[in-house]
Structure 1
Amino acid sequence: MKIAVISDSHNVNSAIQAVKPYISDVDIVLHLGDGAADIKEITMGFKGEVYGVKGNCDFCEGYPNEKIIKVLDKKILMCHGHIYNVKMELNTIMCRGKELGVDIILFGHSHLCIIEKQDGLLLMNPGSIFRGAGIIRRSLGYLEIEEGKEVVSYIKEIK
């Protein structure tokens, strides 16, 4: 299963249009908030599964602060990250992931790409499809999950 992980579209049409080609070959699209209202437009015509959570800039109904999904044998926590103070530290979100017994923690908020493994947990922040905070201007993340195998994770810059 190939999963596209996007975050922080911030209702910016150019970002919404730019990411569409990058999700065409995936099975699942995950949006990590700050642009939850953009999910419908981003995934228009997409035939796979779509999940989203809300961020600190989202005021639309229908999206939770966090969501747990199961993909094959992996349990994934999706959240925006603001309620876990991810701009300052990752310990709080790590504790939440351990408490929930997940394998993967996905979060946004900081617009800064991160992929790291700590204490058996995979953490990913895909950056922002609108405007990144690091050397990568705009980005999204991918997860490739196969039953019984280690998860492949990577970030791709949006050109």
Structure 2
Amino acid sequence: MLIGVISDTHGLLRPEALRILRGVNHIIHAGDIGTPEVIYALRAVAPVTAVRGNVDRGAWVAEFPQRQQITLEGVRLLILHDRHELLEQPADPEVRVIVTGHSHRALVETRDGVLYLNPGSAGPRRFRLPVSVALLTLQHGELRAEIVDLGALR
């Protein structure tokens, strides 16, 4: 199963991001969506699981929790916007992947058997950080994540 992971769009869904996400089986948005139109466009590509971030405001965000667990291909994933929320409420022991956003810094790191994945920011460029998304492959219980720099696709 191929999962597209995106975060911090802040209302801007770049054509390069959509190009990378075409063909994925599922999309995860780790918050700071910005506008509901971002979700509508992502849902046209694949089923979407999304959480709200600190900039998401208005009635439209009611359908998006701050934290969500899903199981795909037998792998439990936890999605939340800000990694620091784990200090207040740690992940369940069954969680194998923790997806976050917020920092705008891409991260793929495995600690104690848990894959921490932050796709970076796919929206407006912040400081000099790259604009990126991630692809997560789940196959026979194995996990592989890769960061895709959208700036290299122009």
Task: Sort the TM-score into its range (normalised by shorter chain).
Answer: 0.7 to 0.9
Q: Deviations over 1:25-82 (max 9, x none)?
A: 11001111101622112x2532x32111000011222100011110112100011116
- CA-CA distance at 1:141 after TM superposition: 0.7
Partner of 2:76: 75
Distance 1:151 1:132 in 2: 28
* AA of the residue aligned to 1:77: L
Instruction: For residue 96 of structure 1, give the secondary structure of its aligned residue in structure 2.
Output: coil
Q: Is the contact made by 1:10 and 1:130 (CA closer than 8 Å) also made in structure 2?
A: yes
Q: Find the partner of 1:19 among 10, 17, 20.
A: 17
| Mapped contact 1:136–1:157 kept (Cα < 8 A) | no
Contact 1:111 1:131 (C-alpha < 8 Å) held by counterparts = no
Identity %: 27
Using the size of structure 2 for normalisation, the TM-score is: 0.84
- Distance in 2 (CA, whole Å) between partners of 1:145 and 1:113 is 19
Over 6 Å off, 4+ runs: none
Cα-Cα RMSD: 2.2
Call closer, same or farther: CA 1:44–1:151 in 2, change over 3 Å: closer
For structure 2, the 5+ residue unaligned runs are none
CA contact (8 A) 2:10 2:124 kept: no
Gaps of at least 5 residues in structure 1 are: 85-90
2:6 aligns to what?
6
Q: Is 1:96 aligned to residue 90 of structure 2?
A: yes
Code of the aligned partner of 2:118: N
Number of residue pairs aligned between Structure 1 and Structure 2: 146
